[in-house]
Structure 1
Amino acid sequence: MYRMPFDSLDDYIRIPRVEALALSPDGGRAVLTVATLSKDGTSYEKALWSVPGDGTGSPTRLTRSAKGEAGAWFTAAGDLLFVSARPDAEADGDDEAAQLWLLPAAGGDARPITRLAGGVSGIGAVSEASDRVVINAELLRTPDDLEAEAALRGRRKKAKVAAILHDSYPVRFWDHDLGPAEPHLLSLDLGDLADELPTTDAPGDDSDDDAPAPYPASLPRPFDLTPRPGREADSAGTAVTPDGATVVASLRVPGPQEGRRVLVAIDAATGERRTLVDLPGIDAAAPVISHDGTTLVHVRQAKASPAGPTDVEIWVSALDGTGARRIATGWDRWATSLAFAADDASLIATADSDGRAPVFRIPLDGSAPEQLTRDDFAYADVRVVPGSDDLVALRSTWVIAPHPVRIGADGTVTPLASPAPATEASARIEDVETTAADGTRVRGWLVLPEQASDSEPAPLLLWIHGGPVASFNAWSWRWNPLLAAARGYAVLLPDPGLSTGYGLDFVGRGWNAWGDEPYTDLMSITDAVEARPDIDETRTAAMGGSFGGYMANWVAGHTDRFRAIVTHASLWALDQFAGTTDMTAYWSRIFTPEAMEAHSPNRHVASIRTPLLVIHGDKDYRVPIGEGLRLWSDLAAAHAAEDGTTVHRYLYFPDENHWILKPQNAVIWYETIFAFLDQHVHGNDWQRPELLG
């Protein structure tokens, strides 16, 4: 363990970040995706590192390129696949599209496996015992083959045409426009990869620059498993059998706005498909195939309605979909990941649970799930060690950053070597809880600065999570309470009604009524923490993002107990939001019109007495910029002085999405928040961050 530099934001953004983990077929080594700050400090560069899978040895860096590498996945032969926009020596010099690359297990340089004009979006699935790989890629709608598709892309680029014509919903997602290309699942046979010297033939004077260039014969030609897909191949999970013959995918059946997810089996050689699960009002997703290729597992969830949330169910069947049955029926948790154990007799799962995210074993015979880890960590990227009951995973808490570990069959956890070692924070963390007025237990985490004591009580920051169907249980680089603790604040991270990890009834607490139990739960646990002698109840503030921003706005309109409130990427006018978000159907479906109106924060703007710091990114399509603009306009209309000045602030990022991801923008984000809190919580003069001009 080492101490992390939370006093300095510049040092904080330089901390290496472990983002993902892959495991070799023999379980002997794990490959970590590690992000580090670029030399100019304006972006993060990703590289792949290898570490022994048994806890011995030291990390070895595998890749180096200015473009970085991500999406690591091992082939059956032990070669390492990844996605990168690094230069391909045999491609056009100006080609910046990310492609699939292979780093041979036997040694040697990485080589490109694809040369698609639009690039590769990611790896969908890799066969355990064959050369089959399934990738995600986007192709223009009208061309008949890869060559014509590349030529049409070239003509659009040359003509500087960016227009997109839509004939269905949606039109954008998260932070990017959808189209004109459509998502496809493409199959590759790595056995078709050949070594071929590049040709030296130069085009003659009569060459046609717009003529389609042939797809390289030395590369395996991608086979389209989803031709003419529309948005069908916006996949919610893909799996391939060990022999590579069959691909099982969760595909989108279109509807007026949302559609549904169905499970289909696709012959990898012919493209012939058959439907395995297609149920009205049900989404079938996350398929997983057993190591012996005979058993299929997937999750199902009925569409939620204003009446309440619906359960995430685990179903098991034969590979052809027959004999389907639900397992873990009495398990009141939602699986966030599933994998077959080495013997195929059970599943290895993760799920939010009581402010943690443990690893569970779920027997296929219908018996009760068994919790394997019982510490305070949240586990992710869990990989099964072949031929063993051991697992390899990443884990984190709010005070320990993600790091790789090996989990023994008896539950013992051994840290693995890492280029970004596990951290030790100067702050301490405690589990806190209270009982709401109706008798419901409400809990959370309290991060306390070192100096907090009965004689030196700390000011309190209430941090409200997004989602809302989520839990405060794992490390976050974007919202890191240790940065606030380093500045003397105690940070309360509660799980109010609607949070996961406490059962379906708790998720339903405040459903279709966000301003009711979620709000009173937050106030109840804040009351309980403020009663502690090491907390200064006279100096409190609140902040939240997304749904947390909604709650921050709701809090501002319903109490003046806080000295300052930070509202990031927040929902303000629910009727406006529901029609402009990239998930219109979902948000319109979970509220009645009456509840949407009754629980819209903008109705209470006149009651706001607390200074607000409003933050929004223009590329945020989940909570569009219109919410931030309308909030700011409404605050000015209701509360600005005659000269137009106001105690409120509006921090705007033209180049950020729902999250603030660019390193220097993140520094400005934190600097502005801490300056705002310093002014209103501590009564100091306003200090405008220098780079804001």
Structure 2
Amino acid sequence: MATPFASLPDYLAIPRIEGLALSPDGTRAVLTVATLKKDATGFDRSLWAVAADGSEGATRLTRSAKGESAPAFTADGDVLFVSARPDSDADEGDESGQLWILPAAGGDARAVTRLAGGVGAIAAVAEASTRLVIAADLLPSASTVEEDGKLRAARKKKKVSAILHESYPVRYWDHDLGPAEPHLLALDLAGLRDTVGAVRDESAAAEESEKDAPTPYPASLPRPSDLTPQPGRSADAAGIAISPDGSTVVAALRVPAGMDARYRLVAIDVASGAHTILFDEPRVDFEAPVISHDGARLAYVRTVKGTPAGPTQQELWVSALDGSEPRRIAPDWDRWPSSLSFDAHDDALIVAADQDGRGPIFRIPLDGGSPVQVTSDDFTYTDVRVDRATGDLVALRSSWMAPPHPVRIARGGAITPLAAPVALPEVPATMVDVETTAADGARVRGWLLLPETDAPAPLLLWIHGGPLNSWNAWSWRWNPQLAVARGYAVLLPDPALSTGYGLDFIARGWNAWGAAPYTDLMAITDAVVARPEIDETRTAAMGGSFGGYMANWVAGHTDRFDAIVTHASLWALDQFGPTTDFSPYWQSIFTPEAMIEHSPHRFVADIRTPMLVIHGDRDYRVPIGEGLRLWSELNAQFASSDGTVPHRYLYFPDENHWVLKPQHAVVWYETIFAFLAQHVLGEAWKRPDDLG
């Protein structure tokens, strides 16, 4: 069967749905759709409206060279989004992303902010007022948005990029932190007014002022109110909610704890800016706040920090909006919520969570009743929105057989696909649920994707990252359908440490990554290679991040595979711990002894399998030193007299943990498939053309 997965250019050209927002009346959903640029070097993003009842029709709302993202609705049904598109009223050449509004009544979109550093995200929008909260970065010496603009202009003119750090951390995933600090800014759209021509304080007044004075903020735009002045890194929030009337913001703000940090819930009065601490405990994180539709109650997640002794539960709690009368709900529910919101009538929480290789939606009553599973298919649900008029839900869902697409979920569980502008692609695989029993009696399961062939297929063991993760949703970066289209069967297992199987299952691999996670992987591989569809004489293992760690561990502990691909991998845990972007977490979940015992680098001399090492220089979660040390020690151990080794190293100087540029993704896949073809299929090595 011919599918777009047989060709990497065709695969990249598949449009992608990346986000969903639901209108206040529940009749419209707005989707963020990403499409490949004409030169195939990036993606353009636009917003599309579709009927939320499943009827036909999709309407494109936005079109610009810079694209749009992060849609949200105002209480009046206007569409908000973030874009770096040109603003006719702004200075020429200003390319910072700003907040825009597209009126429901019709007309062009217009900018709502003009911040020198741009807008990072729409943090929360009030359901019944004109207020909202945005996230934006301001320089630490600036006390106003005007001063921030002046300071930024000076740095730009002098070409200064230096950053002075006065606290930890200094990096996050793929970007440097600073020099600006994150802030939460309140806006009232009632202050937005249209003008004919420029208003005086944006033109003549600016010319009459002193030459070095800051440019006044436009009077035609609602002035941002800083809810977190002098925040440090506290506004790196772990969730933000705003009351329906827009008077109160509840934020999970970061609190330094030495080198480490925790999150506490803080109520912020929008009018005065006053902060009131609602919940704060040592070594406890309070995160993901949501406020009920009537503004009376608050729900949140409470998590005691883990230690080497074991993981802890992510607890669901509710209280009054002022923090009084807190109580835990569903205390026996052994799942970790990935999203939560109040049901239409505020009598239950709507929660998405990993479960058994899927990501279903649950309805959890506030009266002490047991959680009720709303969806029971093989999909994972994200962007879950509540239609208050009917009690139905609108969400995106995906599996390894279908990328994210919008659906409507009736209260009884019936699912109606929405008429999205993006058709689901034909896939080459069939998918089956596989499982085995580990030596300790634990059930270990995963997904097996099989090609259409009468002959036994070579097997690829793909190991997920995390490690607190599950192979339960579509990924455009690690897509097994591409391997299936080339004749491979792909095993996607959830070993110990995987989410969706309860706290005890996670605990089996805690502080011992090389123990149960490894033996689980080998046990389910044994079960799968015994199937008649699999050629057990041709196998390979691959993984990224924690999956790369496991690939390295596998390489040092068995020679059963013909090839191993390790991407963005942890190699020496004693080195990784203090150099990753937030070392306190990783160092707190291991004992020093376990960090040494379970470090793959100690077993380099035992490696017998050809390895393809891949790393990006801008990976701050797993720093480049891991890849460099792995490559160095492979060469020190295995280089022949002429300098050659059976291993290879694919290096991306300007990529991060994921390798996101489309043509770099092509090179990534081409190199992997060429390496596998050589060692698994017995074909001659073919260097990808774009590698010179």
TM-score norm. by structure 1 comes to 0.98
- Which of residues 383, 402, 405 in structure 2 aligns to 1:381? 383
The residue number in structure 1 matching 2:65 is: 66
Query: In 2, distance between residues paired with 1:82 and 1:323?
Result: 36
Query: In 1, distance between residues paired with 2:389 and 2:332?
Result: 29
Correspondence 1:651 to 2:650: yes
Query: In 2, distance between residues paired with 1:279 and 1:208?
Result: 49
Tell me: CA distance 1:88–1:434, structure 2 relative to 1, closer, same or farther (3 Å): same
Amino acid at match of 1:673: I
Query: In 1, distance between residues paired with 2:244 and 2:547?
Result: 43
Please give the secondary structure, in 1, of the residue aligned with 2:422: coil
The residue number in structure 1 matching 2:257 is: 255
The residue number in structure 1 matching 2:231 is: 229
Query: In 2, distance between residues paired with 1:526 and 1:334?
Result: 27
Please give the secondary structure, in 2, of the residue aligned with 1:521: helix
Amino acid at match of 2:84: A
**Mapping of residues 323-472 of structure 1, within 5 Å:** 323-451=325-453, 453=454, 456-472=455-471
Amino acid at match of 1:36: T
Does the 8 Å CA contact 1:154/1:210 hold for their aligned counterparts? no
The residue number in structure 2 matching 1:581 is: 580
Note the C-alpha offset of 1:389. 2.0
Please give the secondary structure, in 1, of the residue aligned with 2:260: coil
Amino acid at match of 1:262: R
Query: In 1, distance between residues paired with 2:29 and 2:317?
Result: 30
The residue number in structure 2 matching 1:93 is: 92
Query: In 2, distance between residues paired with 1:205 and 1:508?
Result: 65
Count of residue pairs the alignment pairs up: 689
Please give the secondary structure, in 2, of the residue aligned with 1:323: coil
Does the 8 Å CA contact 1:123/1:134 hold for their aligned counterparts? yes
Does the 8 Å CA contact 2:4/2:425 hold for their aligned counterparts? no
Note the C-alpha offset of 1:510. 1.2
Note the C-alpha offset of 1:199. 2.7
**Fraction of identical pairs, as percent:** 68
The residue number in structure 2 matching 1:50 is: 49
CA shift digits 1:404-430 (9 cap, x unpaired): 000011111000011112233121000
Correspondence 1:146 to 2:145: yes
CA shift digits 1:326-347 (9 cap, x unpaired): 0011111111100111000001
Query: In 2, distance between residues paired with 1:37 and 1:167?
Result: 41
Amino acid at match of 2:225: F
Query: In 1, distance between residues paired with 2:210 and 2:368?
Result: 64
Note the C-alpha offset of 1:521. 0.1
Query: In 2, distance between residues paired with 1:523 and 1:85?
Result: 49
The residue number in structure 1 matching 2:512 is: 513
Note the C-alpha offset of 1:3. 7.4
Please give the secondary structure, in 1, of the residue aligned with 2:482: helix
The residue number in structure 1 matching 2:272 is: 270
Please give the secondary structure, in 1, of the residue aligned with 2:257: coil
Query: In 2, distance between residues paired with 1:380 and 1:206?
Result: 52
CA shift digits 1:211-265 (9 cap, x unpaired): 3100000000000000000001000000000010000000001122221100000
Give the unaligned 5+ runs of structure 2: none
Does the 8 Å CA contact 1:56/1:416 hold for their aligned counterparts? yes
The residue number in structure 2 matching 1:279 is: 281
Runs of 4+ in 1 over 4 A off after TM superposition: 200-209
Note the C-alpha offset of 1:106. 0.3
The residue number in structure 2 matching 1:170 is: 169
Does the 8 Å CA contact 1:3/1:423 hold for their aligned counterparts? no
Does the 8 Å CA contact 1:464/1:493 hold for their aligned counterparts? yes
TM-score norm. by structure 2 comes to 0.98
CA shift digits 1:541-579 (9 cap, x unpaired): 000000000000000000000000000000000011001
The residue number in structure 2 matching 1:496 is: 495
The residue number in structure 1 matching 2:638 is: 639
- CA-based RMSD: 1.3
Give the unaligned 5+ runs of structure 1: none
Please give the secondary structure, in 2, of the residue aligned with 1:461: strand
Tell me: CA distance 1:119–1:3, structure 2 relative to 1, closer, same or farther (3 Å): farther
Query: In 2, distance between residues paired with 1:316 and 1:186?
Result: 26
Note the C-alpha offset of 1:185. 0.3
Tell me: CA distance 1:268–1:206, structure 2 relative to 1, closer, same or farther (3 Å): closer
Query: In 2, distance between residues paired with 1:66 and 1:572?
Result: 41
The residue number in structure 2 matching 1:82 is: 81
Please give the secondary structure, in 2, of the residue aligned with 1:523: helix
CA shift digits 1:458-515 (9 cap, x unpaired): 0000000000000000000000000000000000000000000000000111100000
**Mapping of residues 102-121 of structure 1, within 5 Å:** 102-121=101-120
Query: In 2, distance between residues paired with 1:499 and 1:258?
Result: 25
Does the 8 Å CA contact 2:206/2:216 hold for their aligned counterparts? no
Does the 8 Å CA contact 2:16/2:33 hold for their aligned counterparts? yes
Please give the secondary structure, in 2, of the residue aligned with 1:199: coil
Note the C-alpha offset of 1:207. 7.1
Tell me: CA distance 1:207–1:243, structure 2 relative to 1, closer, same or farther (3 Å): closer
Query: In 1, distance between residues paired with 2:371 and 2:559?
Result: 45
Amino acid at match of 1:649: R
Tell me: CA distance 1:388–1:621, structure 2 relative to 1, closer, same or farther (3 Å): same
Does the 8 Å CA contact 1:155/1:210 hold for their aligned counterparts? no
Amino acid at match of 2:594: A
